[in-house]
Structures are given as C-alpha cells and as structure tokens.
Homo-oligomer: A and B are copies of this chain.
Amino acid sequence: MTPHSAPTGHPDPALALLPMAGTPRVRSDAARNRDALLCTAARMVAEEGASAVTMDRLAAEACVGKGTIFRRFGNRAGLMAAVLDGSEAEFQARVMRGEPPLGPGAPPYERLIAFGVARFQESVQRIDLLEAAGGGRSHAAYSFGLLHVRHLLAELGVEGDLPLLAAAVLAPLEVPLLRAQLEVQHLPLERLTAAWIDVASRVVGVSPTR
C-alpha cells in the first residue's frame, strides 16, 4: 500500500502545511484510514472503473466503516476529487517544473496552448473519474489551472478582467461539455483541440500557431 501524497486531516489542505498552535495533531488512526481509503479507491478505479466504486464496497475493501469515508471526504464527489488529486499533483509538477513548452522556459503563448492541450488529454484520459467527481476537479486543482492561465494572460499583456478571462478560456475544457462533444456528437479530440487553440488565440489577440 503506497501512501498517498495528499495532505491528511485538515479541512483546508492549504492550511495544513504546519501544525498550528491550538490545532491538535491528526490522530494516527485517522491518517492511516485516510491513506487506506485513497489507495483502495485508486486501485478499484484502476481495476474496475469509477462507477464500480460504491461506498459500501470501498468501506469493506479498505476495512473501515462507511461513516469514516464520509467524515473524511464529505461525499462521493469529494472522494473522487481526492483520488484525482493524486495524479493532479504530477500534472502540476509538469507545469511548474517540467519541460517546455508546458513547463517554464517557453514563451507564454506556447505555454498557454500546451497547457490547454495537456488538459484536454488528461481530462479525456480520466473522464469517468472526473464525472464521478461531480463533473469537476477539486477546488485546489481548478484554482491552480485558473491561476496559471491568468498568469500567462498577464505575461501576454492581455488587458481586462483577467480572472474571468482565464475562467472563460478554460470553460470549453470543462468535463460536461467535453463529454457531450466526444460521446454524443462524436467529434474527434483533434478538432476540439484545434477549435480551442483558435479561441484562445483570439482571446490573447494573436493569430493561432500550428
């Protein structure tokens, strides 16, 4: 059982970097159960798909009570988002410290396009898990993408309401729309990607490359 990398126990992971005065430590059984749940859930998703992970089965296979799952993750969507955060960390590392053009070093426009393309691919790959997570990522994962795009837009000299422009640029990558276009309309991913590059180029005000 490989321990999971997500922070343990605190309501807001961003505040969990240091144990704060007055905040008692996370109990060891809580941490152990959390890791067991995430590992078991990830394995079940990999083996049988997200829809096969019922809360009862997960509780049984992880040898914990059902209430423990809901205490830790709130609901099924929260659990799936936490499972997603495992691979999300690796994605973020590729963006922050990886090779250009996704990582630092490339010009901002190339990084923006690379980010969109990578997000498309990653979303398609995990689309069933993303849907089980309620059609979205964890708040942390979504905010990361938003901040990154906003930063790139600023570097590109885009004027306007950058937080909302970034959200609008990312909106066509959202899972419900993606699923409808891929599975109902049967559009090829390349076409979706090309159209997104077109839109992103129009928003930043350059003519699309490639």
Contact = CB atoms under 8 A, between A and B. Distances in A.
Nearest to A193: B164
A29 B174 CA distance: 41
Contacts of A168: 171-172, 195-196, 199
A164 B176 contact: no
B136 A199 contact: no
A199 B135 contact: no
A198 B136 contact: no
A195 B135 contact: no
A194 B161 contact: yes
Contact of A135 (B135, B191, B196): B135
A160 B203 contact: no
A12 to B, nearest CB: 14
A192 B164 CA distance: 7
A83 to B, nearest CB: 20
Contacts of A165: 195, 198-199
Given A202-B205, A205-B202, A164 B191 contact: yes
A172 B165 CA distance: 10
